[in-house]
């Protein structure tokens, strides 16, 4: 199932900017940052010398890695979207990191990098959006040096739930949302099978939940970013999308909102 992240080159600049803004918001939202930092803590970052942020998007995680890695480490971000690479370079320059980070166009299914090049490869909210998660993991494994680590962090988006309003409309709308922005909503549940046979060893697993009760901030940003895209993709009609969004924005105003989603990290070692 395709999602808008697989079709960024077909979107207008305003739509891509809206998605970029969502990624940047998410990358600075304290509960999301906390999940990221918890898995960073498991990666022995002080020992890393050559790191790849695969599917880097706007580079928000690449920049966060720069703050944790030794200053001598080489740090590369790759993405298949030319627009995202442009944003990543702009945002890195705005933080004075243009000489520390490099960004390149690459398909995560088959990069042009040499084998065994990186001692850490990070896949942060990537595998839920790609055509073939298994192939992307195999490519990450090819790029990782023996003894190196691969970190796979993503949402278990099939677990997403909203509490306010009509349960039937919530179900229809959330399915429309997943069809629009997530190619593989069950992928983190399937990852043990995907890992099997790759020669990779699971050395850490971190289950997380991001939930908001009362006022929405994380999920409000999601509604603002993707409600229009659901309609444009034909996954929800305009009236239903407006009613659904208004219900949850009103619930947030009244302090009665509830939303949650599970997230998970697999830390893998290449033998």
Residue 76 within any structural domain of the chain: yes
Print pLDDT tens along the chain (271 aa): 468 898 888 888 888 999 999 999 999 999 999 999 999 999 999 999 999 999 999 999 999 999 999 999 999 999 999 999 999 999 999 999 999 999 999 999 999 999 999 999 999 999 999 999 999 999 999 999 999 999 999 999 999 999 999 999 999 999 999 999 999 999 999 999 999 989 999 999 999 999 999 999 999 999 998 998 999 999 999 999 999 999 999 999 999 999 999 999 999 999 9
pTM, two decimals, is 0.95
CATH of the domain at 55: 3.40.50.150
- Range of the structural domain that residue 101 is part of: 4-158+183-211+262-270
Say how far apart CA 253 and CA 112 lie, in whole Å.
49
**Under a CB-based contact definition with an 8 Å cutoff, are residues 229 and 110 in contact?**
no
Domain contains 218: no
H helices of 160-207, in order, are: 167-181, 187-195
CB 189 within 8 A of CB 160: no
Indicate the Cα dihedral angle 113, 269, 79, 197, nearest 10°.
Answer: 80
Is residue 82 situated within a structural domain?
A: yes
Count of domains forming the chain? 1
């Amino acid at each position: 199932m395709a999602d808008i992240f697989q079709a960024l080159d077909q979107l207008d600049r305003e739509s891509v900017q809206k998605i970029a803004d969502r990624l940047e918001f998410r990358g600075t939202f304290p509960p999301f940052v906390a999940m990221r930092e918890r898995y960073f803590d498991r990666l022995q970052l002080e020992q890393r010398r050559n790191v790849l942020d695969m599917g880097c998007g706007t580079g928000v995680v690449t920049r966060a890695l720069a703050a944790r890695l030794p200053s001598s480490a080489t740090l590369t971000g790759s993405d298949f979207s030319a627009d995202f690479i442009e944003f990543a370079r702009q945002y890195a320059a705005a933080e004075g990191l243009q000489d520390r980070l490099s960004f390149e166009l690459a398909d995560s299914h088959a990069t042009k990098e040499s084998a065994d090049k990186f001692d850490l490869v990070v896949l942060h909210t990537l595998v839920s959006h790609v055509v073939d998660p298994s192939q992307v993991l195999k490519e990450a494994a090819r790029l990782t040096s023996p003894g190196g680590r691969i970190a796979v962090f993503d949402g278990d988006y099939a677990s997403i739930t909203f509490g306010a309003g009509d349960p039937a409309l919530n179900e229809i709308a959330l399915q429309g949302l997943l069809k629009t922005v997530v190619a593989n909503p069950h992928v983190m549940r399937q990852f043990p099978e995907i890992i099997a046979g790759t020669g990779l060893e699971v050395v850490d697993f971190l289950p997380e939940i991001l939930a908001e009760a009362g006022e929405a901030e994380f999920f409000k940003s999601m509604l603002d970013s993707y409600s229009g895209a659901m309609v444009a993709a034909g996954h929800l009609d305009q009236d239903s999308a407006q009613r659904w969004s208004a219900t949850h924005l009103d619930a947030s105003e009244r302090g009665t909102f509830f939303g949650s989603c599970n997230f998970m990290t697999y830390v893998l070692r290449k033998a």
